[in-house]
Amino acid sequence: MTDLPFPDTVRVDADDKVRGRPIYAADDTRPGVLLHAALAVSTIAKGNVTDIDTKAARAVPGVRLVLTHEMMGITKSAGFIMGGGYGFQSLQPMLSPAIAYRGQPIALVAADTLEAAIEAAHLVKASYAEEPFSVTLNAPGVEVVNQADTPLKNFIPEIAAGDADKAFAEAPVKLDAVFNCPPQHQNPIELIATVAEWHGDNLTIREGTQNAEAVRHGVATALGIAPDQVQVISPFVGGGFGQKNSLQMQTVLAAVAARETVRPVKLVVPRAGVFHDASFRPTSRHHIRLGADRSGRMVAAIHEVEAQTSRHDLFPGEYTATSSRLYGFANFRGVERLVRTDVQTPGYMRAPFEHPACFAMESCVDELAYALSQDPVALRLANDTETDAATGLPFSSRHVAECLRRGAELFGWAKRSMAPQSMRGGDGSEIGWGVAVGAYPGLATPAIAHLKVTDDGDVEISIGGHEMGQGIRTALANAVSRKLGVRPEKVRAVIGDTRGAPQHLTAGSWGTASAVPVAEDATDAMLKALGELSPAGIAGRTPADILKAAGRRSVDVEVQRKAPGQPDAIFGRLRAGLPSVGGPVYGSFVTFSYIAHFVEVAIEPNTRRIRVPRVVSVADCGRVMSPRTATSQVRGGVVWGIGAALREASEVDPHYGGFLNADLAEYMLPVNADIGSIEVEFIDKPDTVFNSAGVKGLGEVAMTGVAPAIANAVFHATGRRLRDLPIRIEHLL
Ligand code: MOS
């Protein structure tokens, strides 16, 4: 084993990417072979289809099939991923005439051309029996469920430490505030796209997904065929962010259409459809009560959350799992409530719970700093902890204080004046400096890795993982090449492909912490195997040289690894495509990643436009595996946080249901001109208690804490405490 630093490799897929070589599902054209599909969707928010007339649609030249709920045969739901199944929701559209939400598919058209499919989909005429519906948290008719009273309590523990109500009642300094976060839709550039193709009884699905194994098992369940009749191929994903983390509702429809037409069928959901055919970040309301003594020690926190779910599924809330870990709260009580509304089931959108939870708690901590006239950085440092109050266990590593100190130094925080409205820019802008920390659980999954080297110098690792742009191929190449002494470009990673190693869902920022340690184990096993081939030793020799000298064409090894404390049975779940993630509590320790963000905002004097000229972010993600992709991840997370703070909201239509701004023109996102300087640093201290590679996870923690840092900076600039996201010009007029 070598002890080289991790190389700052250029992304191993960079050349292919800029040349447009990766082929995504939607890139499959094959004129004359492939049929194109389009969906007709419900124009009501709730009720039943009473009649569906497909005559005009079927008459469009080139139309081969118009599929409705009357023609789905024995197809069934593959179940909800958080309820023991495989789909983003339990409701598979088109299995019955029932309509649960606006935009739900009611028919699929397959045609020779996309134009014919779209035209025919518009000609599908449905009659409905409408029912009343509720789409906002406060609407009459919603149903509020205490998560602790549902089966979810068996795998999502309520967070409680000490006696938070008593400690809050007795605290000399009290804050009590409500924060609101809107629904949002992640909009990966790659639309949700499926190509379904049968070869006899075997089905191939090409689709950008974060969870090829769940798509495989889910489609098999839905169609009543064996999982080994299905293969799912997803070598590159054009952005996922949680939207592509389970079986999509269109995949089964495309597979049925392909079976009925005996042709490969391509279904690309258009942008407006993505807002209704896939999961999204549910709206959430956060009631925070924070108590402190006069010195600023936080003695109590109560975090009550109400988050949206659908009528048909309970999408579990895990907000307080993170807010409770920000500081050493000796007394903490978390409450998660789910509000059933008439929407598709919400899901995991980047830092799904952690971004809203950190927004609420870290905004409130800033309010506490002002209530006590204490510097917001000093207050945070004074409340740091090495022990997790919720479990009494130590953190495997926690460098929040270093993130805050280093960030303050890089940002020049010492020059900040405490009073709101006390700093001005040259053009009269109100300048505000804000800080907040973010946290994200350190999670890991089991993984199986198959490593092969050949005498012509090729190295191939087949492993669970999906490349959705975050750079997992580069992290794997770095890990394997560093130990084997080959160039990173020589390492080929077979990922996102059910023909190789079992594919676990890649999400939750666990990709690197799950794949890299097992890749390193496989490399160690390979070095041992090569050593046995070479009695003279392997030092200074390449695998290819060793193989040639031994007269061998290739050597294979296979190893497996699980998260700390997981039972061996977890590999059965992995192979069955079921979520198998462990953490953040691991028997004897608790693991979280952390980040501190320092933000400057400038409020323009006349327009009140909020600009963010400067951000400094310092992250504690354990060891940095790939400095280049890690830095890029943090920049992306900060941009996402700026969007969440100042732009993004899916506008709910209370009169007709569904989401109104269902396109990239009206769903507001930051653009390049909205982004200033983003300076990124890492603490880069390996967490070898968590895993041998010392990696904790980075993708999502990067976004946490950005929104409160901005809101806190807006308060510093203007004296206005804004507790609802997004913060827009009209809130500052
Ligand atoms: Mo991510 S929201 O865990 O794909």
If we measure between CA atoms, which residue out of 305, 311, 301, 303 comes closest to residue 283?
305
Chain Cα centroid distance, residue 149: 27
Q: Ligand 1 test: best mutation among 88, 211, 245, 505, most atoms within 8 Å of CB?
A: 245
Q: Which two three-digit tokens encode residue 458?
A: 């090729």
Query: Helix H segments across 534-667?
Result: 543-550, 570-575, 627-646
Give the integer Cα–Cα distance in Å for 216 and 251: 10
Instruction: Give pLDDT, residue 10.
Output: 80
How many A from CA of 505 to the centre of ligand 1? 9
600 phi, psi to nearest 5 deg: -110, 130
Instruction: Give pLDDT, residue 223.
Output: 98
Q: Which two three-digit tokens encode residue 276?
A: 């209704």
36 phi, psi to nearest 5 deg: -105, 140
- DSSP one-letter code for 132: -
In ligand 1, the atom with minimum distance to the C-alpha of 244 is: 4
Instruction: Give pLDDT, residue 86.
Output: 98
Neighbours of 576 (CB within 10 A): 14
Long-range contacts (CB closer than 8 Å, 24 or more residues apart) made by 195-200: 195/25, 195/28, 195/34, 195/254, 195/264, 195/265, 195/266, 196/251, 196/254, 196/255, 196/257, 196/258, 196/264, 196/265, 196/267, 197/258, 197/264, 197/265, 198/258, 198/259, 198/262, 198/264
Give the integer Cα–Cα distance in Å for 128 and 104: 13
Q: Ligand 1 test: best mutation among 184, 190, 211, 241, most atoms within 8 Å of CB?
A: 241
Ligand 1 within 6 A of CB of 349 = yes
- DSSP one-letter code for 395: B
Is residue 524 within 8 A of residue 483, CB to CB? The reply is yes
In ligand 1, the atom with minimum distance to the C-alpha of 245 is: 4
Give the integer Cα–Cα distance in Å for 394 and 385: 9
Ligand 1 within 6 A of CB of 441 = no
Q: How far apart are the first and last CA of the chain?
A: 62
Ligand 1 within 6 A of CB of 352 = yes
Instruction: Give pLDDT, residue 540.
Output: 87
How many A from CA of 375 to the centre of ligand 1? 34
Q: Residue 178 half-sphere exposure, CB side, CA atoms within 13 Å?
A: 5
Is residue 621 within 8 A of residue 443, CB to CB? The reply is no
Residue nearest to atom 4 of ligand 1 (CA): 242
Ligand 1 within 6 A of CB of 210 = yes
Ligand 1 within 6 A of CB of 296 = no
Q: At what angle do helices 249-261 and 212-223 cross, to 10 degrees?
A: 50
Is residue 711 within 8 A of residue 434, CB to CB? The reply is yes
How many A from CA of 348 to the centre of ligand 1? 5
Q: Ligand 1 test: best mutation among 237, 248, 350, 505, most atoms within 8 Å of CB?
A: 350
In ligand 1, the atom with minimum distance to the C-alpha of 186 is: 2
Instruction: Give pLDDT, residue 3.
Output: 45
Residue-by-residue DSSP string for 157-219: PPPEES-HHHHHHH-SEEEEEEEEE--B----SSPPEEEEEEETTEEEEEE--S-HHHHHHHH
- DSSP one-letter code for 4: P
Amino acid code (one letter) for 252: V
700 catalytically annotated: yes
How many A from CA of 241 to the centre of ligand 1? 5
Ligand 1 within 6 A of CB of 345 = no
Neighbours of 219 (CB within 10 A): 28
Ligand 1 within 6 A of CB of 440 = no
How many A from CA of 240 to the centre of ligand 1? 8
Adjacent-strand bridge partners of 197: 204
How many A from CA of 353 to the centre of ligand 1? 10
Q: Are strands 105-111 and 35-41 parallel, antiparallel or unpaired?
A: antiparallel
The parts of the chain modelled with pLDDT lower than 70 are: 1-8
Give the integer Cα–Cα distance in Å for 233 and 500: 10
- The catalytically annotated residue of 318, 430, 648, 700 is 700
Q: What is the CA radius of gyration of the chain?
A: 26
Residues 6+ apart with CB under 8 A from 160: 332, 333, 334, 390
If we measure between CA atoms, which residue out of 591, 511, 525 comes closest to residue 555?
525
- DSSP one-letter code for 296: -
Neighbours of 456 (CB within 10 A): 10
Starting at the earlier edge strand, list the strands of the sheet with 677-682: 430-441, 592-603, 610-620, 677-682
If we measure between CA atoms, which residue out of 372, 456, 433 comes closest to residue 614?
433
How many A from CA of 16 to the centre of ligand 1? 25
Ligand 1 within 6 A of CB of 507 = yes
Helix (H, G, I), strand (E, B) or coil at 433: strand
Is residue 141 within 8 A of residue 288, CB to CB? The reply is no
The full 3-state SS of 308-350, as one line of letters, equals EEECCCCCCCCCHHHHCCCCCCCCEEEEEEEEEECCCCCCCCC
Q: Are strands 230-233 and 298-310 parallel, antiparallel or unpaired?
A: unpaired
Q: Are strands 143-146 and 173-181 parallel, antiparallel or unpaired?
A: unpaired
Residue 239 φ/ψ region, left for φ over 0, alpha for ψ in the -120 to 50 degree band, beta for the rest: left
Residue-by-residue DSSP string for 677-698: EEEEEE-----TTT-TT-B---
How many A from CA of 506 to the centre of ligand 1? 8
Residues 6+ apart with CB under 8 A from 322: 353, 354, 357, 358, 439, 440, 441, 592, 704
Q: Which two three-digit tokens encode residue 319?
A: 């907000």
Instruction: Give pLDDT, residue 7.
Output: 64
